[in-house]
């Protein structure tokens, strides 16, 4: 992964000055990394090196995901499934319609939807044996309402069809939660979620990695990419540290009124990866109170755009509208595949593309967009993936998680909590009790 | 469809005053409707009553979509496919993984992606006969680069496998474009795109309706919903006119600094419908110059959130972060389906949901969110669909297209052009020629 910031429209001096203020925190993160383990809120950076956890997950996947497995059902929501879904969609999900014979396929049950539940049940109960499905219910808090609702509806139908299905259910939850305890009593297959790692920083734990392993992704490469990136993002030589640079640039533009951060990804299969980042930024720095307890109501609205598609959607707004966003272009060749436009075109309305590869075409679009942004004085950064691989996506996610810790520090907010969501949850519980 | 605005945090007086300024334009739209036809830029409102066009599309669908059809390939991008995709995803696409035996399935080819193209070609060339696929290439301008690239790559592979496939290709394009003329010379099946109806207002033309008809949606109901809504949205009794009210409320909040408009949809199958609206708003009111030619760089950033999923993603930001957005909650029961949580729960960690339907659960979440927004003084409107049906989605789209014309009028910009996208296109063409 390469990171460029020469078009951020900020001077290197100014960026360096902001980044300098991160040096004590970088030192703290280095200590967290050195001592390993999970004592600190930043312990997420130690997950990809946790050999014991990785082995446990590999063993679980090996035991449960036999060649008979057709459907892996990931019951979770928000932080508890976006990482797994980002990986699945990047390598499988975006192409599932085109590969009807490829298995196992993953079905994500997030918000309870009656049609989705009905059709999932029809599909699963039509299977020949229970070895053809495997359920993973993931809830850090051990009681996420959506996850409980979906799980109960699905289990009820599966038990009626197959009898006892406990051996086809894996529970991933925090160790001190009611769900974990119940699962333990029932002797269900269990994976622990690390207490000090918040949901949105938990992709390199059982949350993301079990789903990756079950569907045949290279877990080791995902983790290796993250480990390599951790080193870069803890570098005190700030001008070589992509996380410190990116956080400093977003922060400076935020201070001068740019309160939207657009991640413009020119790889359509990475849209869910974008949504994962949207969640990371939305929850981490959108805060009512700062670290001193002062009411600040601050935050940056994260948006995800997909190139070249969204040039035909929000391109007009971005190029012509208000200068209230800092953009990060994410691109890279998918080197495993290629497609070429024939020399003799059926519709020769665009001679310049004849005989060229789709890579060349998309590169020209990206370069065109960059020049247009420059001419309109719109700031941007660039993240270039080596290719679409487990390793490079592992790099990207680690880069973004450390960037977010730095951004929280610069904005003087707690990047690890989400107190305001309790506001609607409390009301919902009250309404549910009274209906 | 019902529309509520009692929590917009604006006085009825203030809303009425803004809406009043729309009265001359409403009169103009009434004239456009009265004379029918396509003489004006607002002629989109006459599409759903165009019986001749509808019959042409139905005839084309009937002729080409035989019971053998398995894959409908929609090659288009942005305005030329988002409407069709919104409909497909709402009724079929969101559930495709769960219904492997349901056909025809639609494959959307938007941005050229080498892996997607490679896998689409593998799938199509493995089919037994060319009657099992049907391609519709849609380009209002008759030369959208992405559409040309995808079409050429696909056709090249199909011709090698099946020989002449001209009878399995339908071209939809503006009549005075190079692609239309070439298709006519080749005697290809052709559908005209109306000159005065811009892409993003064209869903009720061949663009959206052919795809709907081919996949078995009720085109008549889609159009009937739109026709009924047109009447409501041309009502000079402004407090009964949802489009005038919604545009006035968005505009007033925009003037007081709320430059983000969030459409928060509590029906996950309508995410693409949200993206359709995002495109409509992004291109229509994100403008560098106003109608007087004055440089204004104005616009509202449209965002789409999906409930309840995104409460676990951007909910913290929305509830705790800056008050810079006006929200529209969209919800409704999907009355064709239901799912119930068992009375005896396997994991009784949330007693209040036992024995209840998922409808009841989601309603409680929505009500909880509304109360939380009220307590945090966050303004919102509500759109309640009667159910997820062709009729109600037809209503919604007509409502939003007329709302956007009104919003353009209030913001004093041209809601029908997108001049700034030319900035990157020009550079891309230059780069393509030189590589």
Residue A169: strand, helix, or coil: strand
pLDDT at A271: 98
Q: Is the pLDDT of residue B413 over 90?
A: yes
A98 touches chain B (CB under 8 A): yes
**A337, A368, A376 member nearest B115 (Cβ):** A337
CB B367 within 8 A of CB A426: no
pLDDT at A39: 95
User: What pLDDT digit, counting tens, does each position of B273-320 carry?
Assistant: 999 999 999 999 999 999 999 999 999 999 999 999 999 999 999 999
Q: Is the pLDDT of residue B237 over 90?
A: yes
pLDDT at A195: 85
Collect the ranges in chain A with pLDDT lower than 70: none
Q: Considering only CB atoms, which chain B residues are within 8 Å of A148?
A: 345, 347, 349-350, 353
User: What pLDDT digit, counting tens, does each position of B216-232 carry?
Assistant: 999 999 999 999 999 99
Task: State the Cα torsion A427-B393-B254-B302 to the nearest 10°.
Answer: 90
State the nearest Cα–Cα gap between B247 and chain A, in angstroms.
Answer: 18
Angle at A426 between CA A425 and CA A432, to 5 degrees: 85
In this complex, how many residue pairs, one in chain A and one in chain B, have their CB atoms less than 8 Å apart? 429
User: What pLDDT digit, counting tens, does each position of B240-278 carry?
Assistant: 999 999 999 999 999 999 999 999 999 999 999 999 999
State the nearest Cα–Cα gap between B349 and chain A, in angstroms.
Answer: 6
What span, in angstroms and rounded, lies between the C-alpha atoms of A104 and A69?
Answer: 6
What span, in angstroms and rounded, lies between the C-alpha atoms of A209 and A223?
Answer: 9
Length of chain B: 435
Task: Kindly provide the ipTM of the predicted complex, given to two decimals.
Answer: 0.98
pLDDT at B285: 98
Q: Is the pLDDT of residue B170 over 90?
A: yes
Our separate counts of H helices and E strands in chain A read: 15, 12
Sign for the CA dihedral angle at A36, A38, A43, A45 comes to positive
B125 touches chain A (CB under 8 A): no
- Cβ B286–A314 below 8 Å, yes or no? yes
Name A147's Cβ contacts closer than 8 Å, sequence gap at least 6. A75, A76, A77, A80, A137, A138, A139
User: What pLDDT digit, counting tens, does each position of A215-243 carry?
Assistant: 999 999 999 999 999 999 999 999 999 99
- Cβ B112–A146 below 8 Å, yes or no? no
Strands (E), A97-244: 105-109, 133-139, 169-174, 190-193
User: What pLDDT digit, counting tens, does each position of B114-152 carry?
Assistant: 999 999 999 999 999 999 999 999 999 999 999 999 999
Q: Is the pLDDT of residue B435 over 90?
A: no
**A107, A111, A424 member nearest B372 (Cβ):** A424
- The rounded percent of chain B whose pLDDT value lies above 90 is 97
Report CA-CA distances (Å) from A199 to A107, A162, A208, B13.
20, 32, 11, 46
User: What pLDDT digit, counting tens, does each position of A160-207 carry?
Assistant: 999 999 999 999 999 999 999 999 999 999 999 988 899 999 999 998
What span, in angstroms and rounded, lies between the C-alpha atoms of A211 and A193?
Answer: 14
| Structural domains in chain B plus CATH codes | 2-29+222-421 (3.40.50.10490), 37-217 (3.40.50.10490)
Q: Is the pLDDT of residue B195 over 90?
A: no
User: Which of B271, B272, B350 to mutate against chain A (most A CBs within 10 Å)?
Assistant: B350
A296: which DSSP letter? E
**B118, B179, B368 member nearest A427 (Cβ):** B368
Instruction: Tell me what the pLDDT averaged over chain B comes to.
Output: 97
Q: Considering only CB atoms, which chain A residues are within 8 Å of B350?
A: 143, 145, 148-149
Question: pTM to 2 decimals?
Answer: 0.98
User: Could you tell me how far CA A144 lies from the centroid of its own chain?
Assistant: 19
Neighbours of A117 (CB within 10 A): 22
């Amino acid at each position: 992964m390469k990171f460029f910031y020469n078009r951020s429209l900020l001077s290197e001096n100014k960026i360096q000055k902001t980044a300098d203020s991160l040096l004590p925190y970088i030192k703290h993160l280095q200590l967290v990394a050195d001592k390993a383990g999970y004592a600190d809120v930043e312990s997420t950076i130690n997950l990809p090196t946790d050999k014991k956890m990785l082995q446990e997950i590999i063993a679980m996947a090996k035991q449960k995901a036999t060649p008979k497995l057709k459907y892996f059902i990931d019951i979770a929501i928000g932080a508890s499934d976006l990482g797994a879904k980002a990986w699945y969609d990047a390598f499988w999900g975006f192409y599932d319609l085109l590969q009807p014979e490829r298995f196992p396929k993953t079905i994500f049950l997030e918000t309870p939807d009656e049609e989705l539940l009905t059709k999932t049940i029809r599909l699963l109960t039509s299977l020949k044996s229970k070895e053809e499905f495997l359920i993973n219910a993931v809830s850090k808090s051990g009681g996420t309402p959506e996850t409980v609702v979906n799980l109960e509806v699905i289990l009820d139908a599966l038990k009626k069809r197959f009898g006892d299905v406990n051996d086809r259910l894996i529970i991933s939850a925090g160790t001190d939660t009611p769900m974990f305890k119940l699962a333990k009593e029932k002797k269900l297959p269990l994976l622990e979620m690390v207490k000090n790692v918040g949901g949105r920083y938990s992709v390199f734990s059982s949350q993301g990695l079990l789903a990756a392993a079950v569907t045949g992704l290279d877990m080791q490469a995902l983790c290796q990419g993250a480990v390599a990136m951790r080193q870069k993002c803890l570098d005190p030589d700030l001008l070589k540290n992509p996380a410190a640079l990116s956080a400093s640039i977003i922060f400076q533009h935020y201070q001068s009124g740019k309160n939207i951060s657009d991640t413009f990804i020119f790889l359509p299969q990475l849209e869910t990866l974008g949504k994962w980042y949207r969640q990371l930024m939305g929850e981490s720095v959108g805060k009512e109170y700062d670290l001193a307890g002062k009411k600040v109501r601050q935050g940056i609205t994260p948006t995800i755009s997909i190139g070249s598609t969204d040039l035909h959607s929000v391109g007009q707004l971005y190029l012509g509208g208000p200068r209230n966003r800092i953009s990060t272009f994410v691109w890279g060749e998918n080197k495993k595949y290629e497609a070429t436009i024939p020399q003799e075109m059926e519709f020769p309305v665009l001679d310049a593309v004849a005989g060229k590869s789709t890579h060349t075409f998309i590169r020209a679009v990206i370069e065109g967009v960059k020049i247009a942004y420059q001419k309109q004085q719109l700031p941007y950064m660039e993240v270039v993936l080596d290719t679409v691989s487990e390793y490079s996506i592992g790099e990207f996610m680690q880069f973004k998680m450390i960037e977010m810790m730095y951004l929280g520090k610069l904005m003087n907010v707690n990047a690890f909590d989400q107190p305001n969501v309790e506001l609607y949850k409390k009301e919902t519980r009250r309404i549910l009790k009274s209906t």
